[in-house]
Amino acid sequence: MCSEKEKVKWKNKTEKKGGNKIKFIAIGLVALIIVGAGGYFGYSKFAKDKGTQKTAAPAAVQTAQTTTQAKTTQNQSYLEQIVSEKNIGLDECLVNLADEDGKRYVKTKIFVGYDKNSKLETELTEKKPLIRDAVIAVLRSKKAAEITPKNMDSLKMELIQKINPLLKKGQINNVYFSDLLVQ
C-alpha cells in the first residue's frame, strides 16, 4: 500500500499540525492571562478612584453651598439697602426656560431702578431693546427650579451685572419684579 517514505512524510505532517495546535493554545493562554491581569488592575484602580470621588464630592458640594449662601446673604443685604429713586419698566417678557423637556416658561414684568439722572433715563429708554435682550438671555439660561424666592436676589444681581455694561451714562442699582409666573 504505502511505502516507508510515504508513511514517514505523513507522520511528520501530523506531528507538525499537532505542534501548531499546541503553539496556538499556548499563545491563547498567555494572551488570556495578560488580558485578565490588565482587567483586574484597571478595575481595582478605577473602583478605588470612584470610592475616593464619592467621599470627596459631598465636601465640595458643602463648600459650594456655603459659598452660595454667603453670596446670597451679601446680595440680599446689598439689594435691601438700595432703594432706587427712579425706575423704568421693561415690557412684559415671556421666555422659555432651559429645562430638559422644553415645556416650562417664565412670564415676568421687570423694572430697573436707578438714581436720578436725566441722561441715564434717556439712555435706558433708547436702549430698552438691548436691555430686554439681556434680560431674556439670563432668564433663558435658567431652569424652573432655579427661579425660587430664595434665589431671586442672586437672579437680580445677575441681571444687574448683565445690564450695566450696556450703559454708558450711569448704572442701574436694582431690579424689581412686578409680575413673575413660572409654568
Q: What is the pTM of this model?
A: 0.56
pLDDT tens digits, one per residue of 53-79 = 444 444 444 444 444 454 545 555 555
- The residue among 115, 121, 117, 124 whose CA lies nearest residue 82 is 115
pLDDT at 2: 61
Residue 53, CB half-sphere, CA atoms under 13 Å: how many? 6
pLDDT tens digits, one per residue of 126-181 = 999 999 999 999 999 999 999 998 889 899 999 999 999 999 999 998 999 999 99
**R_g of the chain computed on alpha carbons:** 36
Residue type, 101: D
Contact 155, 138 (CB under 8 A): yes
Residue 21 to residues 17, 18, 27, 152, 180, Cα–Cα distance (Å): 6, 5, 10, 75, 78
Between CA 172 and CA 122 the distance in angstroms is: 13
Place of cell 470610592: 51
- The residue among 69, 67, 66, 86 whose CA lies nearest residue 77 is 69
- The residue among 104, 74, 108 whose CA lies nearest residue 176 is 108
pLDDT tens digits, one per residue of 16-49 = 556 678 888 888 888 888 888 777 777 777 665 5
- The residue among 171, 155, 152, 154 whose CA lies nearest residue 163 is 171
Contact 97, 148 (CB under 8 A): no
Q: Is 164 helix (H, G, I), strand (E, B) or coil?
A: helix
